Amino acid sequence: MDPDSNSNSKKISPGPIIRHFNPTKISHRH
């Protein structure tokens, strides 16, 4: 119920997801 905990979870969620779903890195690697 802490705003800090929610902010941390939201920051970590979009972080690895965007990195894993990087169409530029995949296109460059292939």
Where in the chain are the domains? 1-30
Output the CA torsion 23→17→8→2 (10° steps). 130
pLDDT of residue 13: 55
Rounded to two decimals, the pTM is: 0.14
| The amino acid at 1 | M
pLDDT of residue 2: 57
pLDDT tens, the chain, 30 aa long: 555 555 555 555 555 555 655 666 655 555
Residue-by-residue DSSP string for 1-30: --HHHHHHHHHHTHHHHHHHT-HHHHHHH-
